[in-house]
Structure 1
Amino acid sequence: MVAQQTKLSAENKEQDLALAYLRRIMMAPVYDIARETDLSYLPKISAQLNNQVFLKREDQQPVHSFKLRGAYNKLQGLTDEQRKNGVIAASAGNHAQGLALAAKSLGVNATIVMPITTPEIKVNNVRHYGAEVRLIGKSFNEAQQAAIEFVESEQKTFIPPFDDPDVIVGQGTVGKEILQQLADVDVIFVPCGGGGLLAGIAVYVKQIAPNVKVIGVEAEDSACLKAAMDAGKPVDLDNVGLFADGVAVKRIGEHTFDLIYKYCDEVITVSSDEICAAIKETFEQTRVIAEPAGALSLAGINKYVKTSKGNEKLVAILSGANMNFHSLRYVSERCELGEQKEAVFSVTIPEQKGSFRQFCQTLGGRAITEFNYRYSDANKANIFVGIRLSHGAQERQELVNILESSGYQVQDLTDNELAKLHVRYMIGGASKPMVKERLFRFEFPEYPGALENFLNTLGELWNITLFHYRNHGAAFGQVLAGFEVAEDEQAEFFAHLQALGYEWHEETENPAYQAFLSQKSE
């Protein structure tokens, strides 16, 4: 009896909390500054996916992101003394801009601590909205620690980006608008980083329309919600991907996870290539360039419909459109892979006259999108080839079977990150045998002196045999480096790698490297 009463008491508390969120979301004063954004029907995508697909256009907010809602709602709840002393936050993205504009509208002094790796365009945008910017640290964690210290020393109020009830309430107004604009919606797809938007929408929607499914969508290389769901509580990710920087969060929020765990129906993860495909689709339908985090929801829909019943009303939230222009090169390179309209292979062909023509004939008229080759062997050649697809993954496997049955050695590199990010730009023949070469991929912070630090730690001690660097406008670039390391130097080398402090992965056995760049015996 006591256990039953305890259970009922807990359930009543949960219901009271949910109803409190419902009332607060319905009464939130966000429209003093935010606008009710459009819910746009996407006819082309709807026809392709055999569903009715709608896009919630949070790119229409004054700061081109939903973050304004939560920031303004939080500031509205501050006391006069807190407003007088000013507010502070750590952010390198949309939270910074949303808070800056919200604070300006209320006459509150705002300070934003940003990592020194933050692109200048974002720094300038925050300053444009009237906030003070302090560039501190090489990472978000260092910037956040500095902001927390300023809270104590300057008596400012810290404004969290997601893990706060007032912020969650502000973001939940997106869900309120969706139900008002499309009462018979079947599924709402919500991007998730720290979980503020997903928590707010889920707790609201499930009180008003419990039959509507709410699905969170994460980038697979920063899936902190999925990790928390598996563990039953928030946990830290070992590594966080940086392409979708708006959702690059190492640990889901405590408040947000509690709500998501109770009210979210499902979590979907998507790859960077799938996000790029969704950015392209969004542009083709709306002429808006979504940022990677902003395109997550549509990428989630593309994955969901592969196993769904069809003919549903699906809503994707375009959560932000603050795209760094230099990132578009990466998106353009990867979107067709994400759409499964291109495949990339390593193929071994005979080193003889007419072999290229014969290979093309084997493809049966399929268009070649990329062809990389350089002579390196008297008998055979490895080519890196991109091929246009019309029927996705099924055709990709069929193509592998056709090539192998024609006597070619084939390796499918379509899902090989090293091949897509580095090797396709480096093919020029393998090096001659030497002391053993080892290959590593690094995430390289974009701040003054980072390259010098890298070279001081490793370059003066070991010969660098290969180096390739790609930056796509993010706070971190991608570096591929080879080193000449003798057998008796292995332990010392790895000790220096650890001292370097950068994220790294060994790629010496990667098939793309072995096929095109590794040393060949004579």
Structure 2
Amino acid sequence: MSEVTQARAAEFLSGADYLRETLRAPVYEVALVTPLQDMERLSKRLGNRIQIKREDRQPVHSFKLRGAYNMMSQLNAAQRQAGVIAASAGNHAQGLALSARQLDVKAVIVMPRTTPDIKVEAVKSFGGEVVLHGSNFDEAKTYAIELAEKHQFTFIPPFDHPAVIAGQGTIGIELVQQNGHLDYVFVPVGGGGLAAGVSVLLKQLMPEIKIIGVEAEDSACLRAALDAGEPVTLDQVGQFADGVAVKRIGDETFRLCQQYLDDVITVSSDEICAAVKDIFEDTRAIAEPSGALSLAGLKKYSEQHQLKGQQLASILSGANLNFHGLRYVSERCELGEKREGLLAVTVPERPGAFLDFCHLLGGRAVTEFNYRYNDDTLANVFVGIRLLQGQDELESIISDLRKGGYPVVDLSDDEMAKVHVRYMIGGRPSKPLQERLYSFEFPEYPGALLKFLTTLGTHWNISLFNYRNHGADYGRVLCGFELEEHDLLSFTSHLRELGYQWKDETGNPAYQFFLAQ
């Protein structure tokens, strides 16, 4: 059956059917029962008992092994003889490869050419055959389906299949066995396989437990589907939490999530970074961003609903992190915890102005200070300030500065300022420019920059360029172009031809403060 046909057939599965299939799932032939660990520091801070389900302890450092193995264990002899195939850039690929080795089945995994070597080598180490194709997941998946039809491989979907969902649901069995007094369980949502499996299982056994789905705000496909009443395809998704960067939730996973989840909450990249830090401080484990997603949601939901004295669990769903990605996490975790604020402050160029400015900060710790002389009247300063009391304290600082005659713009939530501008302070053009500014996400594969320059750089003069990579599958680029008004239509056409995600940043306040003429 095709993936769509399988999902439609699953509409006839009831909650009791899923309970039976989950209880019968033979996942422990390859997977481990993972610990439910107390987060003592965070529990004390939030006034609740916080526990974290350590799926990073699986042999492939992710929960994906459960669903892949459960589906593959149900293949008939002919299907096992022909082999299986999947498209994945990460955890599903490794779960499939190990499952195939355990069952002595040939496994082919199509991965985008942008996939980092560390992930490719991990799949190969489990015995999977890797085929690199396409520049993104959708292109890889299309090619995988073509190969499946050509070679009679069985396509193993990452989430939208009853057997995969039931396999992931085994986590729910372990949760109630390890703590039968849970009040809330927070589950990460990408394609919805984990959330569907855990929620349908728990609601059959202990319906009083509240199940909360957690999404990254820049890839909230479940939230969009709930609002529309059916699965919809997002135009684009953010790649920071790449394990949940899914444009469209599955049909069957949506049906189950809509029926069994009690609520859904979204969190920012900065809030995810803060959760990665919390996990490290309590357990010394290093979660990948999607692995820390549900804890970020737990913290936010607990604060919003003022939960106290409750027993809350979240699922650390994976730890397949590129080590260099920790630089980004380290830079952003304090912002996610509201323990740091970033401000653009206009300071007069006169003796004592900086001293007066520092006095207004009231002795608070300065985490970052960027300044370059611009002219004889005013200077624009980029400053980071350590906060002890969160957003209220930041608003108080801003009020004090404005009362003292210092114009201020809060850049704490300005993505362009945090990724690029803080590293470029002082770079103003020396002559008048008709400049427009754009941000891009570059796929990390050979030739990506050459393609960019060939498509755009030979037509219009590049007036500004800043590249940042944090160990992810993509790089962040900020680029300025000299563009007349009559050039915009042609330029936009070339942007579409380029095929990279982009955004016009010309009106961004950080750009206007520090980089524009």
TM-score by length of 2: 0.97
Q: How does 1:427-442 map to 2 (within 5 A)?
A: 427-442=425-440
**What residue in structure 2 maps to residue 492 of structure 1?**
490
Distance across 2 between alignment mates of 1:512 and 1:53 = 38
Residue type at the aligned position of 2:273: C
Residue type at the aligned position of 1:143: A
One of 360, 363, 373 as aligned partner of 1:362: 360
CA distances 1:238-271 after superposition (whole Å, capped 9, x unpaired): 1100000000000000010011110000001000
CA distances 1:139-159 after superposition (whole Å, capped 9, x unpaired): 001100110000011110000
**What residue in structure 2 maps to residue 502 of structure 1?**
500
CA distances 1:48-103 after superposition (whole Å, capped 9, x unpaired): 00110000000111011000000110110000100000000000000000010010
**What residue in structure 2 maps to residue 139 of structure 1?**
136
Distance across 1 between alignment mates of 2:425 and 2:94 = 42
Q: How does 1:295-306 map to 2 (within 5 A)?
A: 295-306=292-303
Residue type at the aligned position of 1:62: P
Indicate yes or no: 2:221 matched with 1:232.
no
Distance across 2 between alignment mates of 1:238 and 1:15 = 31
One of 20, 26, 31 as aligned partner of 1:29: 26
One of 126, 130, 137 as aligned partner of 2:127: 130
Distance 1:460 1:509, change over 3 A: same
Indicate yes or no: 2:79 matched with 1:72.
no
One of 463, 467, 473 as aligned partner of 1:465: 463
- Deviating above 3 A after TM superposition, structure 1's stretches of 4 or more consecutive aligned residues are 13-16
One of 196, 208, 211 as aligned partner of 1:211: 208
**What residue in structure 1 maps to residue 6 of structure 2?**
none
Distance across 2 between alignment mates of 1:463 and 1:58 = 49
Distance across 2 between alignment mates of 1:69 and 1:401 = 53
**What residue in structure 1 maps to residue 168 of structure 2?**
171
Contact 1:375–1:429 under 8 Å retained in 2: no
Shift of 1:355: 1.8
Indicate the SS of the match to 2:369: strand
Residue type at the aligned position of 2:89: A
Distance across 1 between alignment mates of 2:106 and 2:486 = 59
Shift of 1:433: 4.0
Contact 2:84–2:156 under 8 Å retained in 1: yes
Residue type at the aligned position of 1:32: E
Indicate the SS of the match to 1:305: helix
Distance 1:493 1:14, change over 3 A: closer
Structure 1 runs not aligned, ≥5 long: 1-12
Residue type at the aligned position of 1:335: C
**What residue in structure 2 maps to residue 5 of structure 1?**
none
Shift of 1:429: 3.6
**What residue in structure 2 maps to residue 250 of structure 1?**
247
**What residue in structure 2 maps to residue 82 of structure 1?**
79
Distance across 2 between alignment mates of 1:308 and 1:280 = 22
**What residue in structure 2 maps to residue 6 of structure 1?**
none
Shift of 1:218: 0.4
**What residue in structure 2 maps to residue 113 of structure 1?**
110
Indicate the SS of the match to 2:383: strand
**What residue in structure 2 maps to residue 320 of structure 1?**
318
Indicate the SS of the match to 2:309: coil
Contact 2:11–2:252 under 8 Å retained in 1: no
Indicate the SS of the match to 1:346: strand
Shift of 1:15: 9.5
Q: What's the Cα RMSD here?
A: 1.1
Distance across 1 between alignment mates of 2:121 and 2:12 = 44
Shift of 1:488: 2.9
Shift of 1:107: 0.3
Distance across 2 between alignment mates of 1:207 and 1:477 = 44
Distance across 2 between alignment mates of 1:408 and 1:80 = 75
Distance across 2 between alignment mates of 1:408 and 1:179 = 56
Distance across 1 between alignment mates of 2:488 and 2:145 = 41
Distance across 2 between alignment mates of 1:235 and 1:305 = 29
CA distances 1:93-149 after superposition (whole Å, capped 9, x unpaired): 000000100100010010000000000000000000001000001000110011000
**What residue in structure 2 maps to residue 9 of structure 1?**
none
Distance across 2 between alignment mates of 1:70 and 1:497 = 39
Shift of 1:345: 0.2
Shift of 1:419: 0.3
Structure 2 runs not aligned, ≥5 long: 1-9
Shift of 1:308: 2.9
**What residue in structure 1 maps to residue 516 of structure 2?**
518
**Bigger mean CA deviation after superposition, 479-488 or 335-344:** 479-488
**What residue in structure 1 maps to residue 7 of structure 2?**
none
Shift of 1:475: 1.4
Residue type at the aligned position of 1:146: Y
Q: How does 1:373-522 map to 2 (within 5 A)?
A: 373-519=371-517
One of 345, 348, 368 as aligned partner of 1:347: 345
Contact 1:376–1:429 under 8 Å retained in 2: no
Indicate the SS of the match to 1:442: strand
Shift of 1:467: 0.2
Indicate the SS of the match to 1:518: coil
Distance across 2 between alignment mates of 1:429 and 1:157 = 55
Distance across 2 between alignment mates of 1:174 and 1:238 = 32
Distance across 1 between alignment mates of 2:11 and 2:87 = 31
Contact 1:203–1:263 under 8 Å retained in 2: yes
Contact 2:234–2:248 under 8 Å retained in 1: yes
Distance across 2 between alignment mates of 1:175 and 1:433 = 63
Contact 1:435–1:486 under 8 Å retained in 2: no
Distance across 2 between alignment mates of 1:99 and 1:297 = 24
